[in-house]
Amino acid sequence: YLPRSLRTYSCVHCRDHLARHEELISKSFQGSHGRAYLFNSVVNVGCGPAEQRLLLTGLHSVADIFCQSCKTTLGWKYAFESSQKYKEGKFIIEMSHMVKENGWD
């Protein structure tokens, strides 16, 4: 878990911490169920096998990510993609699966 003094994003289903606000890279992504955020790193998240998937920006190598506690699929992790290098190893979490906690005014 992350310290309670930090602004965090948590799983909307079980409230497990997922990421610190400081790890947020971009809010301009689209997931399967609406808006999604790109994070540099996450916690309490498991990762499925990598697969090729057609996304809005083309064919990408991605792996689904899920909450370690409630097993809800949250989004995906980008695997190797030479034309989209800045996304490599980063995590997309869909807004419909997150809630903001601690210090949001």
Amino acid letter for position 49 = P
What average pLDDT is seen over the chain? 87
Which has the higher per-residue pLDDT, 5 or 67? Answer: 67
In this prediction, residue 79 carries a pLDDT of 78
Q: Tens digit of pLDDT for each residue in 77-102?
A: 987 656 666 677 888 999 999 998 87
Q: Which sequence spans correspond to the domains of the chain?
A: 8-96
> Maximum Cα–Cα distance for the chain, whole Å?
39
In this prediction, residue 83 carries a pLDDT of 62
Q: Tens digit of pLDDT for each residue in 30-62?
A: 888 899 999 999 999 999 998 998 888 788 889
State which fold the 8-96 domain adopts.
2.170.150
Is pTM beyond 0.85? Reply is no
Question: Would you say 76 and 59 are in contact if contact means Cβ atoms under 8 Å apart?
Answer: no
Tell me the pLDDT band of 72, cut-offs 50, 70 and 90.
very high
Burial 58-85 (b: 16+ CB within 10 A, else e): eebebbbbbbeeeeeebbbbbbebeeee
